[in-house]
Amino acid sequence: MANITSTPATPPPRDPSLSSFQLTPEQVKHIELNRLKAKAKQREKEQEASTSSLANANNKRPIGVTPAVSNSPTAPSASKPLKRDSRLGTYFEYDLSKMVNSKGGFLLEDGNEIDEEVQRKEKERERQRARQNLDPPMHLDPALNPKCRECNSMDIDQTFRRVFRCLICKKCENQYPEKYSLLTKTECKEDYLLTDPELRDEELLPHLLKANPHASTYANMMLYVRYQVEEFAWKKWGSPEALDAEYERRVAEKKKKKNKKFEQGLRDLRKRTKESVWQRRRDEEHKHVFSAPEAGPDGTGQQYNIPSGNTTTFAGDLYHHPPVKQTIHITGAADLTTT
């Protein structure tokens, strides 16, 4: 009795709900992956059994595709490389993607060093462009911040400040177009009589470059602030009145040159017209060649015009002179010359 009580008893079966409840999410995921792998292996075995070469109930081989990795003699084999044709002779094969231009072996350059240098310069340019495009920081002290020259606002247009060195806000820029509107290079040359070297000088007249709206292949537009252009023009010509007088003088001179050119062309046209009339008269000049005088049936003399066949009749005594050959030059309807 004592031996029976000392023998360990078999523990009761564990409740499956409690065991599944105690599994961690990682364990459940691992179990699910193993189950899917087992089902995939079982499916592969069934496919291999279905594609067997054994005869079926109708004593026919089943139709199936032999995989390329199979050891069956009917499995598709990899294509063999083509043999070298002996008729092509001796030749060498080169991989052009791996060839390097050594420039005769004397000027071989290290591409890695060149690439690194180009990349370093490009990064430096990008940093410079980034610094130029960044707006300057604002100070905590309002007295240290730049202010608009019109309304003392701190909302400065950074494009005007950076390019034109002008402190102006957007509101005042739109409110005073007679001072802060942008002029093109053509307008500055035509309205203010400024030269191209003056307009290209950054110290005299700073300008903003923009893409040409008419065509992308045209040169960039050069834009100027109106008040800066006017200040330089007043300084150059002395006053607005002097600029207007110079403008009127140039317009009058241009008109005078145009009239002079027109009159010269008219004179050339008249000259060419006279020459053409004279040449036409000269081309119309022709000669009449007459034969020797002959006695007519009524005692008169006759001469024949050789080119045209016309007959000229003379008085009775005119044909008794020795035979002569007469030529009449006719230059016009009123001109008649006899030789």
Kindly report the CATH number assigned to the domain that includes residue 153.
Answer: 3.90.530.10
- Classify the C-alpha dihedral 204-205-211-213 as positive or negative: negative
Domain containing 216 equals 145-238
In-domain check, residue 137: no
Instruction: Determine the average pLDDT of the residues in 116-133.
Output: 83
Q: Which residues pair with 322 in a beta bridge?
A: none
Q: What is the pLDDT of residue 38?
A: 93
- Please give the C-alpha separations between residue 273 and each of 259, 280, 282, 332, in angstroms, as whole numbers: 21, 11, 14, 19
276 alpha carbon, distance to own chain's centre: 51
Are residues 228 and 162 part of one domain? yes
Residue 39 pLDDT level (bands cut at 50, 70, 90): very high
In-domain check, residue 167: yes
Give the total number of structural domains in the chain. Answer: 3
Return all residues near 81 (Cβ < 8 A) that are at least 6 apart.
none
Are residues 277 and 302 part of one domain? no
Residue 325 pLDDT level (bands cut at 50, 70, 90): very low
Residue 180, pLDDT > 50, answer: yes
Are residues 243 and 223 part of one domain? no
Are residues 169 and 195 part of one domain? yes
Q: Tokens 């079926």 belong to which residue?
A: 56
Instruction: Determine the average pLDDT of the residues in 205-234.
Output: 91
In-domain check, residue 17: no
Residue 66, pLDDT > 90, answer: no
Q: What is the pLDDT of residue 10?
A: 62
Return all residues near 306 (Cβ < 8 A) that are at least 6 apart.
289, 290, 291
Are residues 232 and 184 part of one domain? yes
- Classify the C-alpha dihedral 253-254-256-261 as positive or negative: positive
Q: What is the pLDDT of residue 337?
A: 39
Are residues 318 and 264 part of one domain? no
In-domain check, residue 263: yes
In-domain check, residue 184: yes
Are residues 218 and 169 part of one domain? yes
d(CA 170, CA 291): 104
Are residues 215 and 300 part of one domain? no
In-domain check, residue 201: yes
Q: What is the pLDDT of residue 77?
A: 67
In-domain check, residue 177: yes
Are residues 160 and 211 part of one domain? yes
Are residues 226 and 155 part of one domain? yes
Each residue's pLDDT tens digit, 265-302: 999 988 888 887 777 777 776 677 777 777 767 767 77
In-domain check, residue 248: yes
Are residues 163 and 232 part of one domain? yes
- pTM value is 0.44
Q: What is the pLDDT of residue 44?
A: 87
Are residues 318 and 329 part of one domain? yes
